[in-house]
Amino acid sequence: MKNIYLIPLILSIFSLAVIAIALQLDTSPEMIVGDSMQARSFPIFLMILKLILIGILTFQFYKNNPKPIALEKYHTWGSMFLFLLFYLLTVYTDMFIGIFIVIFLMSILWGERRIWVAFLTATITPGLVFLLFDYVLKIRFPRGILMNLYYG
Amino acid sequence: MFEQAISAMASVVVDPYLLGLIFATTILGVIIGVLPGLGATTGAALLLPFTLTMDPVHAIAVLATIYVSATFAGSITAILINTPGTSAAAATTFDGYPLAQKGEAGRALGIAVISSTVGGIFSVLILCFAAPLLARVAYEFRSPEYFALTVFGLSMLASISAGGAVKNLIGGIFGVWLSTIGAERVTGIERFMFGNYELYEGLHFVPIFIGLFAISELLVQSKTVDKIIKTVSMKAVKLPTLEDYKKIWKTILRSCGIGTFIGVLPAEGATVASMIGYSEARRWSKNKKEFGKGSIEGIAGAEAANNAATGGAMVPTMVLGIPGSGTTAIILVGLMVHGLRPGVYLFTEQVEKVYQIFGSMFVANVMFMLMGLYAAKLFARVSLVPTQILWPIVFALSVIGAYAFQGQLLDVWLALIFGVIGFFARRHGFSVAPIAVGLILGEMVETNLQHSLKMFDGAWWMILTQPLALMFLVFAFLGLCGPMIFSWITKQKD
């Protein structure tokens, strides 16, 4: 099977999964819903519409035979991995430590050869953003190693 | 009403804080516009969290200013480095860059600045007159009409610029489904929450939009890190000569009309407007051979149309709550976040605020003209900021912006997840704008369908007996099937 058909396949599985989950939803008594719809009806209707469109899309692929899409560059996969790293760092250390490390690594990954430039970008950006949001917009950031030191 | 509108618009000019804000945002908007990849939509998505603590008028003025100034600024890089800063400036590269290569970059930019300003101001004037009239018509709307109108809005996704019709509709339906996550509004039944009570009130637009527009763009840009940018040298921006004006005034006027009309259509935007403005300029031109080689009519046609679409797109956004483009979807969210409910109420109860917003757009058009004329060369240098510095900064702004909206880490994770979803969608030819529009319209569709069913005791076909609702549904049908029927008829004739 050509990898272009993976898109309709994934979309179909997703739609069927939504229908299956929607069918498990509670139903409300007739006196509340009245002549209107149950909570499950609208999502199911949407997914049926979507499945019809996926059918048309598959037919279009079959007819036009589009070129398969090349795999992403390592920069893209690397950036996605950095998102995951950011999640772990934010949950287990601090959001700003996560931002600092991710900005630094992303600069290097994307081709910055001057370590000090990447370091400055990673330090100044979160610093300025923190000052703006904390002092001007009065946003309270999630607690972590750094924020515990700051908020006490 | 007229007097109130005029005084509200004039109040913008005498409010130094608002003027300062528009000035600063215009600079930011132009910078955002000249940075390839970071267009008006991404810029507005990133700035939305910063506007949360602002006064509603100031907040919407900031977002509208970003919209108009970034839409114009895309032309600077389109002309100087053959890379449109925004998709709306893609048509400008066809003639702007060839003219710049001939050593007339200043003239090309001058034409772009003047055409954009005329287009922008024309559309704001139309907005001022058309929006209250449309609001008066919308006053008669009840649930069946609103349901049909939102279906029409969703059907227009089929003709959005990027992606194919089917892909756009799939994206739109996915967006509508996203709006069903959370507690159902009538029965309170939890849908697709998987025990996560932070989702009880549904997905919030801000983190989703940051993900779909900003984070996904970051991942798209990660593929272009090796790209080398070559600039064309330019001394100064030159105002068009009398000879130039004689050549382009008809084109500008035509494109103003085209752009405003296309902008008004739900889900259409500046990109479609500029393409049609360009092709119409070519069709009506006496010098067709010049097109593609540096025609000033081509630049004027595309630029007047894309900026005219900005005011046009605000009409359905503010009157009907149906966004005319990706950026107006974000502006619509801004309106909602600040308690300005789009629709008739806005034009009857909060006229002053509405016209202050229109006045701000007018001022923003004048400001970007001045910046375009006197600082375009400086702004063009911004486009040379290395991607390896720019996009990590965008990452920081995105995650903190997503968090700042509600102070929930869940919003940050949602922004990142939807960034990845948006990236893969775009990689496979699906535009993310339909997902955003679907998410906004989803609640309107479901709620109005429920109300309509209750009104007609479950007889859904009674919706078709309402003349306005029937008209919108016929339009929706034509929007979806019209191109197919038309091509079938053409084939039969051939």
pLDDT tens, position by position, B435-446? 988 888 888 899
Find the mean pLDDT for residues B255-279. 82
Q: For position B173, what pLDDT does the model report?
A: 93
- Contact present, B39 and B85 (Cβ < 8 Å): yes
Burial class (CB in 10 A: 0-12, 13-18, 19+), B473: buried
Closest Cα to residue B315, out of B324, B326, B305, B327? B324
pLDDT tens-digit profile of A20-79? 999 998 888 877 777 778 889 999 999 999 999 999 999 988 888 877 777 777 888 999
pLDDT tens-digit profile of B136-161? 877 778 889 889 988 888 887 776 65
| B146: its two tokens | 């609103």
- Contact present, B71 and B270 (Cβ < 8 Å): yes
Q: For position B118, what pLDDT does the model report?
A: 93
- Of B206-210, B264-268, B371-375, minimum mean pLDDT range: B264-268
Q: Is the pLDDT of residue A9 over 60?
A: yes
Find the mean pLDDT for residues B463-488. 82
Q: For position B385, what pLDDT does the model report?
A: 77
Contact criterion met (CB < 8 Å) for B223 and A75? yes
pLDDT tens-digit profile of B276-323? 888 888 888 888 788 888 889 999 999 999 899 888 888 888 888 888
Check if the interface score ipTM surpasses 0.90: yes
User: Which residues on A lie below 8 Å from B393 (Cβ)?
Assistant: 103, 121, 125
Find the mean pLDDT for residues A111-138. 87
Q: Does B407 reach chain A within 8 Å, measured CB to CB?
A: yes
Task: State the best of B150, B169, B400, B403 to mutate against chain A, taking most chain A CBs within 10 Å.
Answer: B400
**Among all residues of chain A, which has the CA nearest to that of B217?**
A76
Contact criterion met (CB < 8 Å) for B189 and A106? no
Q: B355 to chain A, minimum CA–CA distance in Å?
A: 27
pLDDT tens-digit profile of B319-341? 888 886 778 888 998 888 888 88
Q: For position A2, what pLDDT does the model report?
A: 63
Residue that the structure tokens 């070519």 belong to: B282
- Indicate the pLDDT class of residue B66, thresholds 50, 70 and 90: very high
CA distance B365 to B363: 5
Which among B180, B219, B397 is the nearest to A42, CB-wise? Answer: B180
- Of A7-11, B61-65, B111-115, B371-375, minimum mean pLDDT range: B371-375
Report the number of secondary-structure helices (H) and strands (E) in chain B: 20, 2
SS3 B191: strand
The identity of residue A85, as a single letter, is L
The identity of residue B144, as a single letter, is P
Q: Does B387 reach chain A within 8 Å, measured CB to CB?
A: yes
Q: What percent of chain B has pLDDT over 70?
A: 94
Find the mean pLDDT for residues B253-269. 82
Q: Does B50 reach chain A within 8 Å, measured CB to CB?
A: yes
Q: Does B223 reach chain A within 8 Å, measured CB to CB?
A: yes
Q: A132 to chain B, minimum CA–CA distance in Å?
A: 9
Which among A18, A34, A39 is the nearest to B184, CB-wise? Answer: A39
Q: For position A121, what pLDDT does the model report?
A: 92
Q: Is the pLDDT of residue A92 over 90?
A: yes
